[in-house]
Structure 1
Amino acid sequence: MVRDTVWRPTVAERGWRSVRGRTTLGATLVVAVALLIGAFSFYGVLSASVHSNAERAAEQRISELTERGDGPGGRTIDSLDDEIVQLLGEDGSVRAASEDAREALGSTPLPLSDDPQTMTIDGEPMLIVSDDLDDDQTLVLAVSVEDGAETLATVATLLAVAVPLLLLLVAVTTWLVVGRALRPVTRIRQEVDGITAERLHQRIAVPESADEIAALATTMNGMLDRLDASAAAQRRFISDASHELRSPLATIRQHAELAQAHPDITSIGELSEVVSEEGLRLQGIVESLLLLARLDEGASGREEPVDLDDIALGEVRRLRAAGLDVDGSGIRAARVNGDPRLLGQLLRNLADNATRHRRERIAIGVEPSDAHVFVTIEDDGAGVPAEERERIFERFVRLDEARSRDAGGSGLGLAIVRGIAASAGGTVTVDDSRWGGARFVVTLPLAR
């Protein structure tokens, strides 16, 4: 069975055609309004000019007839040819008339009016003007305005033909120009449509036009770069998280299988201790991942004034209680806005990191300056190489010396520190301490 293959435009193609159609329609409507306004204005000005010229010519002619000789008498009017002229008495009766006036009107007088007026005589439009004479008589002249009417009719016909043709020309030109302008957009759309999650490495060809279309392609490539980096980071994060979660689960399973296979050599206390330790490790990893997920979503916890010096002094007391040499002399009073629980975890993570990498000493400082407060935690350990100082804030990253699970933690502590600092409107950096180890500096805005 052969199916009829009927082409149907896709949604994107219909959208492209809709943009093209709307642009063409909008441009045509604008030009149509402008042309109509111009056409009516031109016709109105031309009509007023034609009528004004006709009135001036008629008034000039009747003035000539009035001033001819000693004055217009019956004999003078009777001799006029190709003109409709009447001499009306005080009672409005026709005292004299030209030959054309007698043929067209007979004894019917032309209408009198102070202003020129138009009437039709023998099917021809006439302009009627009059002039009062000294002997209480009135000279009335009818001048043909058929030439002016024909001129106006010709102009109206030309406008009626030219305006639609111009609109058609504008519509076709706009349609072609917009179509040509949108053709690169269609190509970009097709290329982007072919980029899937497995092909995020592909990029859009940037045209050499250096216009908005090229800027669009550059912007799309920048977006694809960010998506590719995000996808790579997500895959790396999932891989690292799976590895970190698999390790304690494997330990628990191995000890459980060993206890099942050799119950005589494996004590319940030993098994419970292993399960408890690895369970706590699993719990810590899961809680850290949940916290990072909330920070990624922009969660900053509750906002309230927090005394950073109190949190820092609490960490000093905690570390000293563990027998560590901690210098807290650099702690000054400072208050910020934030979540006390998150800020406490920030300092706790940095203090634990310094504890793992120290040799003998640790120093914690809080120093307000202008609108910010600087929290410093430093140790006298091996320090952080310059090329690693940005990478250590990534998730599940541990330096070579701290690769062991016991020494290096889960690799999420510093990532959490940066996330908490960012959520509070601050930053965190690492450089060399005064003893050659690592010094972490957290910059936070002071409470106003």
Structure 2
Amino acid sequence: MRSVRARAALGATVVVAIALAVAGLAVLLVLRANLTDQAGLQAEVAAREVAGQLALGVPYNRLEMGDEEDHPVQVTDEDGGVVAVSKDLEAISGTGTDRVTPAPSPAAATEDGDDDDDDDGTDSPDPARSEVSTDDPDFTNGTATVDGDRADYRFASVEATNAAGLTLTVHAGAPLAAEQQAVGSVRGAMLTGLPVVLLVVAGVTWLVTRRALRPVEGIRREMAAITASEDLSRRVPEPGSHDEIARLARTTNETLTALEASVERQRRFVADASHELRSPIASLRTQLEVGAAHPELLDVTGAVADTVRLQALAADLLLLARLDAGERPGTALLELGALVREEVSQRTGDRIPVTVSVAEEAAGLEVTGSRAQLARVVGNLLDNAERHARGAVAVAVRAEGGGVAVEVTDDGDGVPEEERERIFERFVRLDEARSRDEGGAGLGLALARDVAVRHGGRLTVTDAGERGARFVLWLPGAR
């Protein structure tokens, strides 16, 4: 069953069926218990009426047993012998004995007044000894046949002591026909209505699920169209509701926007890289071709410079490709102040000397990352400062916000506020008229920010007072 609608409808139907079955069974059990208790109460009342007559000394053959059809009565003595039964009682079960024919007993003769106990010296009956038991009666279920009609009854058993001290047990029944009829009617109604209810539940669930999933189908179709057309500018329809499906559509569109930006960035990167690589390769080829034809005209210095530039550009492109592929930074512990001093000490060909200052609180502070990548960031920031400075470049290392900040400042023209984010884009050079040899390919700052972000830090640019630019690299301290 691959359809979500079908699974939802089936699941809802099964759950409702189980719930209705459990609820219906509980209702039937409670109804049966209540009606059985009512029948038991009626049987107890009938039994106590007969027991009261026995306690008052009413002879067995003169007992008034009410409606014998509704309340069949059987009276037994201590030995289980039957001493009295209601009229027309032909058979009985569930009372302890199935006999319905009274047997003669001495007590019956005494109560009828046929013998005189004073003549043989026996004790005369003592009315004070007669009583009806106040204990809760015993209840049983059984059957009785009255005047040819057999039915189920609820029997109550009540004990009574007559004036002669004989303990008798009165078994009186109340019919269970009303209970059986009511339970049967309710059960029949439930069995008839249950399929109808389940069909309604299944149909409603199917329709509601279909309506709820209709936007999902629209999203799927649009995504399939986008995949087929490769047009990432298209967007899936967003329903007007504020439910999970609407949030799914918005998230899908946000993902498409990010994917479109990523693909566009990749295309632009490939195009710009091809453009940047074309110039040094063409220049190097020209020089080599000229040198091959006229060895005396070979510009070895220029060829070496083009080769170095091509090598640096290839290294930058390779590092950016690794970063885009999700390469994780290293886990080495690095003292950023020492790293900055080492990088500055190796820059012997700078046109402007670089001054370095490391705050006391920053000395010894370590960060976690790749030494080569962080060294490249510091080098790129110094290259940018050397390229734009008029006469001063300074590097300061200090502790800041639970990490280490490296501040590179120059006294050049600075960066316009509206361009301070754009300069971190790849292949961006603010001075487009500047020659490529002097200005580079526009990858240094983009690479520096990517490395900083992947190390959990940030790279920003602000004004350096009245003149120049201040680049601040912040990295979190090692834990």
Scaled by the length of structure 2, the TM-score of the pair is: 0.81
Corresponding residue number in structure 2 for 1:119: 142
Are residues 176 and 79 of structure 1, via their aligned partners in 2, closer, same or farther at CA, if it must alter by over 3 Å? closer
Are residues 447 and 257 of structure 1, via their aligned partners in 2, closer, same or farther at CA, if it must alter by over 3 Å? same
Is residue 290–residue 297 contact of structure 2 (8 Å, CA) maintained in 1?
Answer: no
Work out whether 1:296 is the aligned partner of 2:324: yes
Is residue 357–residue 396 contact of structure 2 (8 Å, CA) maintained in 1?
Answer: yes
Are residues 87 and 422 of structure 1, via their aligned partners in 2, closer, same or farther at CA, if it must alter by over 3 Å? closer
| Matched AA of 1:52 | D
The aligned runs of 1:339-418 (5 Å cut-off) are 339-400=370-431, 403-418=434-449
Corresponding residue number in structure 2 for 1:224: 256
Mark the runs of 5 or more structure 1 residues left unpaired by the alignment: 1-13
**Structure 1 residue 139 displacement after superposition:** 3.1
Are residues 317 and 96 of structure 1, via their aligned partners in 2, closer, same or farther at CA, if it must alter by over 3 Å? closer
Give the paired residue count: 428
Are residues 78 and 337 of structure 1, via their aligned partners in 2, closer, same or farther at CA, if it must alter by over 3 Å? closer
| Rounded Cα–Cα distance in structure 2 between residues aligned with 1:357 and 1:415 | 17
Once the two structures are superposed, what CA deviation does each residue of 1:279-307 show, in whole Å capped at 9, x if it has no partner? 32222222111111222334344322222
Q: Which of 278, 286, 289 does residue 246 from structure 1 map onto?
A: 278
| Rounded Cα–Cα distance in structure 2 between residues aligned with 1:79 and 1:295 | 102
**Structure 1 residue 162 displacement after superposition:** 2.5
Is residue 329–residue 455 contact of structure 2 (8 Å, CA) maintained in 1?
Answer: no
| Rounded Cα–Cα distance in structure 1 between residues aligned with 2:254 and 2:72 | 85
Are residues 425 and 248 of structure 1, via their aligned partners in 2, closer, same or farther at CA, if it must alter by over 3 Å? same
| Matched AA of 1:250 | A
Corresponding residue number in structure 1 for 2:125: none
**Structure 1 residue 81 displacement after superposition:** 4.6
Are residues 431 and 100 of structure 1, via their aligned partners in 2, closer, same or farther at CA, if it must alter by over 3 Å? same
Corresponding residue number in structure 1 for 2:238: 206
Q: Which of 279, 282, 293 does residue 310 from structure 2 map onto?
A: 282
Corresponding residue number in structure 1 for 2:185: 154
Corresponding residue number in structure 2 for 1:437: 468
Q: Give identity over the alignment, percent.
A: 40
Are residues 88 and 245 of structure 1, via their aligned partners in 2, closer, same or farther at CA, if it must alter by over 3 Å? same
Scaled by the length of structure 1, the TM-score of the pair is: 0.86
Is residue 58–residue 141 contact of structure 1 (8 Å, CA) maintained in 2?
Answer: yes
Mark the runs of 5 or more structure 2 residues left unpaired by the alignment: 103-135
| Rounded Cα–Cα distance in structure 1 between residues aligned with 2:386 and 2:189 | 94
Corresponding residue number in structure 2 for 1:50: 35
| Rounded Cα–Cα distance in structure 2 between residues aligned with 1:373 and 1:203 | 43
Are residues 315 and 76 of structure 1, via their aligned partners in 2, closer, same or farther at CA, if it must alter by over 3 Å? closer
Are residues 422 and 401 of structure 1, via their aligned partners in 2, closer, same or farther at CA, if it must alter by over 3 Å? same
Are residues 354 and 100 of structure 1, via their aligned partners in 2, closer, same or farther at CA, if it must alter by over 3 Å? same
Corresponding residue number in structure 1 for 2:47: 62
**Structure 1 residue 181 displacement after superposition:** 0.6
Is residue 362–residue 377 contact of structure 1 (8 Å, CA) maintained in 2?
Answer: yes
**Structure 1 residue 46 displacement after superposition:** 1.1
Corresponding residue number in structure 1 for 2:336: 308
| Rounded Cα–Cα distance in structure 1 between residues aligned with 2:238 and 2:91 | 84
Is residue 80–residue 99 contact of structure 1 (8 Å, CA) maintained in 2?
Answer: no
SS state at 2:180 partner = helix
| Matched AA of 1:425 | G
Work out whether 1:36 is the aligned partner of 2:21: yes
| Matched AA of 1:217 | A
| Rounded Cα–Cα distance in structure 1 between residues aligned with 2:349 and 2:442 | 25
| Rounded Cα–Cα distance in structure 2 between residues aligned with 1:440 and 1:110 | 118
| Matched AA of 1:41 | A
**Structure 1 residue 383 displacement after superposition:** 1.6
Is residue 359–residue 399 contact of structure 2 (8 Å, CA) maintained in 1?
Answer: no
The aligned runs of 1:127-166 (5 Å cut-off) are 127-135=154-162, 136=166, 137-166=168-197
| Matched AA of 2:76 | L
Once the two structures are superposed, what CA deviation does each residue of 1:246-273 show, in whole Å capped at 9, x if it has no partner? 222222333344456xx2x453742x54
More helix by share: 1
Corresponding residue number in structure 1 for 2:61: 74
**Structure 1 residue 58 displacement after superposition:** 0.4
| Rounded Cα–Cα distance in structure 2 between residues aligned with 1:76 and 1:231 | 105
Work out whether 1:109 is the aligned partner of 2:100: yes
**Structure 1 residue 65 displacement after superposition:** 2.8
